[in-house]
Amino acid sequence: MATTASLLPALAGVAGADPTSTPSSSSAVSTPAESSVAPPAPSSATPPAETSASTPTSSSEAPAPAKAEAVAPEAALKAAAADDPWEQSPVYTKWQQLGGAAFAGDLVGTEVVQANGIRYARFSKNVTITHDAANGAHWFSGAIAGVWNGTTNGPDGAISVATMDQVPVSRGFQGGAASAFSNGVSVYYSDAYGAFPISGAMRQKYWAYGSVNGTFGWPTAVENAWADNNGGPTQITSQNFSEAVALFKGPSGVAYWISGALRDKYLSVDGPVGFNGMLTGDQTASAGSGWYVGTETGTIYWSPSTSAVRLEGPINSKFWSEGGPNGRFGYPLADVGKVGDGQYANFTTQVTVFHSDSRGTHWISGALRAKFEALGGVTGSLGFPTSDQYSTNGRDGLYVLFGPNKVILWGANTGAFLVRDQYLAKLRADGDVADYGLPMTEVGPVGPYQFQQFQAATIFDGNGRSTVTLGWDFREVWWYLGGTSSPLGYASSDYQSWGNAQFYQQFDYGYVLCDYNENVCYYDYNGASAKSSKSAVDGAKPDIEQVRREATKISINGGAPRG
């Protein structure tokens, strides 16, 4: 696990923090004018335990310990000159305006006047007053003064002054105080968490989301630097807040926020120095009161019905190509998993996305997925899918391909079935499901043949013959005569067109001829007409008038042989 180190000196006392966002008003909390507040974090987290720093006991003022410490090191300071008496100091004037000793207590030591134009004094009630020509004189106290005091011990002494008087702030029933300083740092104190500085990109993002009363709540720690997994330095920092929020800033200098279960998921694998890498944007609200956040290697998702889940690589790309959380998949149920020589991820809408290097990334759902799993899934005979799930042409069905010669077809009234090899080739060569309809059975035995039945036709194979289709009105006549026990036997060839809206199909022991001029079909078996019809299969057209005289006629609905 990577470690973090405190950046308190860098935040509260080193040049380079953003000074441009310092509030200019001395009578308002150091927050932006924008009052809009983002939605809450996706899951609540127990706030950290109270800190034991010197903190105020009320929400409006930060009281002091019994006695303040001595002033900063002499090497960095210049004592007040004899010709600059205390009574003429702007710090003294501010002290008097505040009520003197009744408000701040008595002066501790002497006023410090620095060569850089900063002057300050500490008072016995743990109040500090600072001044420079650009910002004037302002006061702060208690734990906020403690944070500022920690920045006065360098070789140059204090390098910032307050740009506003300390003001009370609150979040609900939680009281606190805040002040801002000339080096771009704001310090927020709360009774619950203590005082912490925030600056630069972190402070800009904090203010953009409503400051204390916004999405983040109170700062609960200083900005910390992340070490890599070998303990080496990085350019990554983070800062935590009371509403289960963390801000992360990387080499780009831009800060992004993440919260709740998303944050916990991110941190569970070393956060920005783990395989997720840095955040690439702020946490974003999505469909169904969910959230997601992007990282350098993937995306973490959360919804009320799922835990926090991470997707990566081609599966994450496929998810977004289908609309992401707002699309047909819903939310992922678990991280990307391994199966066979590929990967998969399941989603809330009964969708699974599969990926393999050889077959790409494709999705399958519902009854088709159940059928696929029943056939062994990717480790069975089908392997990984080679297409997404699509709607069929001409029928209200769905299909998914598995290589060039296998497909699972599904219809609401038929169910899901596998069509493969010669049966699929016959289906494709002869009009596909638009003509045959959807499959209603698997391949199975019937008499000396194998067959697969579709809504409008049946494909027979075996017994020394190539595949033969029996369908539409021809199959209706065959079924009328007993089907497999029919005196016609089995179809011995596909139907043929004789022109003039007349179609003919040969059977083992007879024939069926359908005439759509009359909307009737004729059948005959074991007779002269049957022999004539059989000879027609070999090229001789039978005498249609003889067929009409000798064959049995059945009325049909008419329209076309595939009507």
Confidence band of 527 (pLDDT split at 50, 70, 90): low
Find the mean pLDDT for residues 444-453.
Answer: 96
Look at 137 and 518; give whichever has higher pLDDT.
137
Point out the least confidently predicted range of 234-248, 308-322, 403-417, 506-520. 506-520
Point out the least confidently predicted range of 215-229, 315-329, 333-347, 540-554. 540-554
Could you tell me which residues are beta bridge partners of residue 195? Answer: 189
Can you list the positions of beta strands (E) in 67-216? 78-79, 107-113, 119-123, 127-132, 136-141, 167-171, 174-180, 185-190, 194-199
Find the mean pLDDT for residues 320-330.
Answer: 97
- The tokens describing 510, both together, are 């007879």
pLDDT digits (tens, 9 = 90+) for 124-176: 999 999 999 999 999 999 999 999 998 776 677 888 999 999 999 999 999 99
Confidence band of 541 (pLDDT split at 50, 70, 90): low
Point out the least confidently predicted range of 52-56, 218-222, 303-307. 52-56
Judge whether residue 219 has pLDDT over 90.
yes
What's the CA gap between 484 and 156, in Å, rounded? 104
Q: What is the structure's pLDDT at 115?
A: 92
**Nearest CA among 327, 273, 274 for reference residue 301:** 327
Classify each residue of 432-458 as buried b or exposed e, where b means 16 or more C-beta atoms within 10 Å of its C-beta.
ebebbbbbeeebeeeeebbbbbbbbbb
DSSP assignment of 227-292: E-TTS-EEEEEEEEETTTEEEEE-TT--EEEEEHHHHHHHHTTTGGGSTT-SB-S--EEEGGGEEE
Could you tell me which residues are beta bridge partners of residue 192? Answer: none
Could you tell me which residues are beta bridge partners of residue 239? Answer: 247
List all residues 6 or more positions away from 213 whose beta carbon is below 8 Å from its beta carbon.
Answer: 31, 37, 171
Find the mean pLDDT for residues 85-89.
Answer: 95
Q: Residue 148's Cα: distance from chain center in Å?
A: 41
Judge whether residue 9 has pLDDT over 70.
no
- Mean pLDDT of all residues belonging to the chain: 85
Find the mean pLDDT for residues 442-469.
Answer: 95
**Nearest CA among 195, 185, 219, 159 for reference residue 56:** 195
- The tokens describing 256, both together, are 């992004």
Find the mean pLDDT for residues 356-377.
Answer: 98
Q: What is the structure's pLDDT at 548?
A: 86
Could you tell me which residues are beta bridge partners of residue 194? Answer: 190
The answer to whether 143 and 191 are in contact (CB under 8 A) is no
- The tokens describing 238, both together, are 């983070």
Confidence band of 35 (pLDDT split at 50, 70, 90): very low
Alpha carbon separation from 545 to 502, 510, 553 (Å, rounded): 13, 17, 13
Alpha carbon separation from 256 to 201, 206, 238, 294, 541 (Å, rounded): 9, 10, 9, 10, 82
Point out the least confidently predicted range of 66-80, 152-166, 242-256, 257-271. 66-80
Q: What is the structure's pLDDT at 563?
A: 53
Q: What is the structure's pLDDT at 83?
A: 57
